[in-house]
Amino acid sequence: MRTVLVTGTGGAGRTTVAAATALAAAREGQRTLLLTADPDGTPEALLGIRSLRSAPGRSADRLPWSVPVELAPGVWAARIITDEWFRGELSALQDRGHGLLDLLGATPLDGEELTALPGVESIALLRALRAAQTAPPGTGWDVLVVDMPPAPDTVALLALPEQLRRYLRRLLPAERQAARALRPMLAQLAGVPMPAQKLYETAERWERELAAVQGVVESEATTVRLVVEPGPLADRALRTARAGLALHGCRVEAVIANRLLPTGTSDPWLAALSGQQQDALKELYEQWAPAVPVRELPHLGRDPHGVGDPRGAEPRPGADGEDGVDGVDGRRAPAGLAALAGAVGAPAARPDRPAPDPWTVEDRLADDGVLLWRLPLPGADRDGLGLVRRGDELIVSVGPFHRVLPLPSALRRCTVSGAGLRDGWLQVRFTPDPDLWPKRL
């Protein structure tokens, strides 16, 4: 499945661009699902649809989103139902651990009294990414477009599966789980029942689920679209987001410059704002193009409402002076999201396979006596960069983001002798340790 994650600076119009991307994909004949986690009703107002509601039945038997509503031929919209998903998961966890709860004398919580905790939204969104990939053949979608949180939160969310898997491996290493075979004997010696087998199985299930979600994030078929309203403050935020996404190996397929004001106006106030936008837009092109395309969306003069003409007619002046398009029935209708779909563009086809490792090791032993580990970090600056060697791992910090990277086998027998940031690449120099490096005969 092709997956497009739409994020960007706060208030830049991420939901608008996500909806336009979904419409553009549907025009290419792709069955498309638009997912949003926004709980306040903004997506419904933007899309011009009724409230997105949950499906009937037990939450454990449903997908973690509301009943999809068709926006236009080939494209549906749904909301991730965080509260109901959390209640279903916690109730199921209590069922698996009823033996331990009985041992502790604890009373299970009823589903009606459960409330989603802060941060659960991220877990629910990751679960939805995984669920969309596993839909039965013939009932799923070709393209998944996700309206993500602002860029800093998105980077932290996409890093979560790898981080949680690392925590599980540290807290429950594989060799410790072998002790499960001793449970019956330990129960007899202790004189009390030991925790149920299902508790150990829960950790294994979490590991499988997290590995599957990490596979989705790291697939070549998963890309990011960054939305920005050009300006001096947004430029700084976008640089930070770019560095964070690169640190975690996320692929940016396009930068969407949204709400561009018209140029050439005689109004001095509007001309000043437009000139500031154009200066920032020029910076975007210099930083991103041609490696990553920059796409421009005009300011519509008002917030878009509804899909508009799904055929993609461009807005033009109506009889009443309002911009509009000809509706399917011949009546005039305000320009909607479909008018932006052409400029946003449909996501290009990509193979659904693990993306190649962006980190490379360059052998300079013959010339300089070092191995050079090159890590692409566009957007990073030296002041916000940090490196810590910890055993066989390298902890890389870029601004508010950090990642624990396992060292390639050859570098584990070396010591760090220096590092530098040049042209968007972090280059770490490793010198072979004489006590660990293979001796020449």
When comparing pLDDT for 105 and 399, which is higher?
399
Cα separation, 297 vs 151, in Å, equals 19
Helix (H, G, I), strand (E, B) or coil at 405: strand
Average pLDDT over residues 187-191: 54
**Where does the pLDDT of residue 137 fall: very low under 50, low under 70, confident under 90, or very high at 90 and above?**
low
Instruction: Answer whether residue 85 shows pLDDT above 80.
Output: no
**Lowest-pLDDT choice from 49-58, 204-213, 423-432:** 49-58
Which residue type does 187 have? A
**Which pTM was predicted?**
0.85
Q: What are phi and psi of 293, to 5 degrees?
A: -70, 145
When comparing pLDDT for 95 and 251, which is higher?
251
Task: Specify burial of residue 368 (Cβ count, 10 A radius: 0-12, 13-18, 19+).
Answer: exposed
pLDDT tens by residue, 232-287: 888 888 999 999 999 999 999 999 999 999 988 888 999 999 999 999 999 999 99
Report how far apart, in Å, the C-alpha atoms of 369 and of each of 21, 177, 180, 247, 365 are.
Answer: 50, 43, 49, 27, 4
Cα separation, 287 vs 401, in Å, equals 21
Contact (Cβ atoms closer than 8 angstroms) between residue 374 and residue 425 = yes
Instruction: Answer whether residue 56 shows pLDDT above 90.
Output: no
Ordered DSSP codes for 118-182? TTHHHHHHHHHHHHHHTPPTTTS-SEEEEE---HHHHHHHHHHHHHHHHHHHHHS-HHHHGGGGG
Q: What is the pLDDT of residue 115?
A: 73
Average pLDDT over residues 117-139: 80
Q: Is the dihedral of CA 140, 144, 148, 153 positive or negative?
A: positive
Q: What is the pLDDT of residue 316?
A: 43
Tokens matching residue 119: 């941060």
Average pLDDT over residues 132-161: 87
**Where does the pLDDT of residue 402 fall: very low under 50, low under 70, confident under 90, or very high at 90 and above?**
very high
Average pLDDT over residues 288-312: 81
**Lowest-pLDDT choice from 48-62, 64-78, 347-361:** 48-62
Q: What are phi and psi of 225, to 5 degrees?
A: -110, 125
Cα separation, 284 vs 230, in Å, equals 8
Q: What is the pLDDT of residue 325?
A: 38
Q: What is the pLDDT of residue 138?
A: 59
3-state helix, strand, coil in the chain (%, to 5): 40, 25, 35
Give the residue from 356, 359, 211, 228 showing the smallest Cα distance to 292.
228
Stated as kind and residue range, the H or E segment containing 395 is strand 393-398
Contact (Cβ atoms closer than 8 angstroms) between residue 6 and residue 23 = no
pLDDT tens by residue, 363-393: 998 888 899 999 999 989 888 899 999 999 9
Task: Specify burial of residue 231 (Cβ count, 10 A radius: 0-12, 13-18, 19+).
Answer: middle
Q: Is the dihedral of CA 107, 112, 118, 119 positive or negative?
A: positive
